[in-house]
Structure 1
Amino acid sequence: MSRISAAGQETETEPALTKQRVFLFSALCCLVYFTSYMTRLNYGAAISEIADSLAISNQAAGMALIGGFIAYGAGQPIFGLLGDRVKPRYMITAGLTATAVCNLAVSALHDISVITVVWCFNGFFQAMLWPPLVRIMAQTLTSENYRRASVSVFTASSAGTIAVYLLVPLCIWLSGWRLAFVATAALGLGIAAVWFVGVKGFAVREWIVDEKAVERPVRESTGALVMASGLLPIMLVVVLQGALRDGITTWMPTYLNEVYRFGNSISILSTAILPVFAIVSVSAASFVQRLIGNELKTVACIWGIALAAAAGLTAVYASNAAASLLLMALLTSCANGINLLLISRLPMHFAQYGRISTVSGLLNAFAYLGSAVSIYGIAAISHHFGWKATIVVWGVIALIGMLLCALCVRKWGRFTAGGPEKVKVLRVSVND
């Protein structure tokens, strides 16, 4: 099987996985990420109905989402560090089980304060899933298979989003919003069992130095790597894409209901168009990245498309429902493409330093910091200044993201073109 060496090169240590085994492993990873979205986005999909049912404001109902995103972001660096040390099989199983329990608890609660606390725990447990998933994918698959699997995993997240925005209206129509949490809890428990049993044959092994010796990669100080790679401004870009992606996804049903009077169920159902476009966008972003070669240059181009979409949406936001839906879908598609490159692909450059899970968790934390800010911020801006002002803010976000990426292209290119021998940072012992 091909592994990544301490020098950042792949080495063959045993016959590569068969296509069937690669497919099975990728399918298991996709199931995990699909389920994580089902058990995390269901609250946002049902937020308008929850607010009406409990007779509270959208802002009060949104506090649970904000708390969940903050807890998710806070847990990312913690479980990112643990993800480089604890077996992914156990960490992911525990995370899925815990988030299922939280979903089941929400289905039985009536006090928004208690629901908010439980959803914060749900966000924290959700943070146990992505960092170890990136690690086990990187250590099990070749670089080419990893690239393909990462697209499949992000496609699974879009499929999970579609499923949520189909499931929640159905549950509301059949029985009420609580049924949506019971259903996702059952799914979470089922997939936890499937993962625990199915991934056993793909246990993470040690990193390979050469064909005869087995050793972990030489670790670098995380802080030094952040400085050497220019990761600080990239983190701000990650915040911006998180704000754009989850802000639109969360409040689009409210926008459609307030501007076009679609009603809660139809507004939620209409939001299913967003992940359909996202599935195409991640594949397109992956293809363009292979042509350009520099993640930040590719992301800068995608931000430019998002800026154009926001400008178009500003012109038609209240006059053409179909055009508004399509332009919002394009905006979130751009954010999803950026998310693929920054959250999944970019951390691969830190694998040779033994920091892939750590960096992945760190970047994901900043993504959901943006999500948490945008959920309250969009509600406040739309309430006080209207939806046109809100859309202008989305355009400003895209512009800032494009400029930041353009400024970071050269430094990131130098970092990725080098390697451990060219990055002048302090090496630390594996056993520290």
Structure 2
Amino acid sequence: MSLLSQTDSAISPEKRKQATILGVMLCISYCVSYIGRLDFSACIPAMAAEGVFNSAFAGLTGTGFLIFYGIGQFINGFLGDRTDPGAMIGIGLFFSGICNICVGLSSSFPSSKYFILGFWCLAGYFSSMLWAPIVKCIAEYLTGSVKSKVAINISATIPAGTVLSYLLSSLLLSAYGWNSVFYACGSLLIAFSIVWFLIFYRSASVLKPERISHDNSKTRNGDNISGASDQTPGLFTLIASTGLVFTILSILFNGVLKDGVTLWVPSLISDSFSLSPSSASLISVILPIINLPGAYIAIKLNNRYFNNEMTTSALLFGISAASFALLCLVGSFGPVLTVILIAISTSAMLGANTMFLTYIPLEFSSVGRSSSITGFLDACSYAASAVSGVTIGKISSAYGWNAAVYSWIAVAAAGFAVTLAGARFWKAGRHKYVSDKDDNQ
């Protein structure tokens, strides 16, 4: 039986209610975090037009965010398995908001672009305090159908947050300028962090988390409930023995196509079709709207046909490559068609990302490593995103956007090959440590 298919028979009504509330709060928190992460991407054309920085420095700033995010994921993934995940989520939201507001204020300083770079790098670190602890909360606080629903719906918060970020940015850019975007997004993050703290601990007092003791036995309120006696395996033992090596390689390619590409969509549209920054940001809203079903399609494919997250992801890499190839042929027909084709690719990559960063890590909740696995994989993803962020900017500046799209096709093809090769290793290796070993999940 899958970790995501438990029944509700043993859950009291009050616990089910609090689990639902916590699940909703987890989804909203990640959605809000994306509003405060993608505002920079939406503001790049306006900031460049005002002479705040050029495209190369914009790429460096975006890359700085991703580097600090990746480093933070590695650190906070380990911390999430050892500290209070609720506190980490609230702190991450609060200080991400502070950093957004500081970016907005930076224009009043001499050499403002360096202040923007510094604050946006810090925003990257604080943003990294959310995802691994969120997965930990899903694994330990939620049970039954609530856990299943949240695990499925949490990925939809990414495109939802992206839509809200682009819409808010478009409205504020045209009316008040780019500074107002960061003020508004920062204020929203800070306000929600306060709401998070108030609600999380009330729900957590009812939902007693299922924790993993040092002897690898599940405990609830200190009582051994599994009878296991083996020592909890280390992170690198899990990586070496379960096929996660291929997942790590696959998520590097996924990071390039999911986040590296997304960073540059408003600029690509603005440069290729001579649109204003606000218009480019508004058209870019198409991207997350089409992304929205990506996670659900991936889950449906995996549950109905493959029962293997790596096989499902290989198919999605193939769809991404085909979409970019089509973009090379017909992308000049207009900005809307261009964004739709890019969105098909990023939707497929969101689906693969759901497999890599939600479904695969949840398999390891029984050995207390869901947060560590999530943090490590997400760190790898954003390391690739960081490199691609600046690389895409340099390629587009030196050779044009067509060359950048050709590079995306190559990345998608490589991702397809590696992920497909790793599918059989993951199928054999995932059952070594997970608690439920039925292949018919």
Aligned to 1:282: 295
* 1:306 partner amino acid: S
CA shift at 1:319, angstroms?
3.0
Q: What is the alpha-carbon root mean square deviation over aligned residues?
A: 2.6
Instruction: Give the 3-state SS of the residue equivalent to 1:86 in structure 2.
Output: coil
Aligned to 1:368: 382
Q: What does 1:338-417 align with in structure 2 at a 5 Å threshold?
A: 338-417=352-431
Q: Which moved more, 1:255-264 or 1:157-166?
A: 255-264
Matched residues in 1 for 2:35 and 2:151: separation?
18
Aligned to 2:214: none
Instruction: Specify every segment of 5 or more residues in structure 1 that has no aligned partner in the other structure, as ranges.
Output: 424-432
Q: Deviations over 1:163-213 (max 9, x none)?
A: 111111211111111111111111111111111111113325243748993
Instruction: Give the 3-state SS of the residue equivalent to 2:374 in structure 1.
Output: helix
* 1:205 partner amino acid: P
Percent identical pairs in the alignment equals 28
Matched residues in 2 for 1:37 and 1:230: separation?
30
Q: Deviations over 1:27-85 (max 9, x none)?
A: 10011101110111111111111122234211112222111110000011111111011
Alpha-carbon contact 1:38-1:164 (below 8 Å) kept: yes
Q: Deviations over 1:66-110 (max 9, x none)?
A: 111100000111111110111112111111111111111111102
In the alignment, which of 21, 24, 30 is matched to residue 21 of structure 2? 24
Change (3 A) 1:143 1:220: farther
Q: Deviations over 1:290-348 (max 9, x none)?
A: 11210001001111111111111111122343332211110110111111110111101
Alpha-carbon contact 1:11-1:210 (below 8 Å) kept: no
Change (3 A) 1:321 1:95: closer
Aligned to 1:120: 121
Alpha-carbon contact 2:23-2:142 (below 8 Å) kept: no
Matched residues in 1 for 2:72 and 2:423: separation?
29
CA shift at 1:233, angstroms?
2.5
Alpha-carbon contact 2:8-2:143 (below 8 Å) kept: no
Matched residues in 1 for 2:129 and 2:411: separation?
29
Change (3 A) 1:352 1:174: same
* 1:246 partner amino acid: D
* 2:387 partner amino acid: V
Q: Which moved more, 1:79-88 or 1:247-256?
A: 247-256
Aligned to 2:223: 213
Q: Which moved more, 1:149-158 or 1:348-357?
A: 149-158
Aligned to 2:131: 130
Q: What does 1:15-414 align with in structure 2 at a 5 Å threshold?
A: 15=12, 20-110=17-107, 111-142=112-143, 144-203=145-204, 205-207=209-211, 209=218, 213-214=223-224, 218-291=231-304, 292-414=306-428
Matched residues in 1 for 2:219 and 2:90: separation?
32
Instruction: Specify every segment of 5 or more residues in structure 2 that has no aligned partner in the other structure, as ranges.
Output: 212-216
Q: Which moved more, 1:70-79 or 1:165-174?
A: 165-174
CA shift at 1:144, angstroms?
4.5
Matched residues in 1 for 2:224 and 2:9: separation?
12
Matched residues in 2 for 1:380 and 1:271: separation?
21
Change (3 A) 1:144 1:396: farther
Alpha-carbon contact 1:206-1:214 (below 8 Å) kept: no
* 1:32 partner amino acid: S
Matched residues in 2 for 1:210 and 1:67: separation?
40
TM-score (norm 1): 0.91
Change (3 A) 1:310 1:257: same
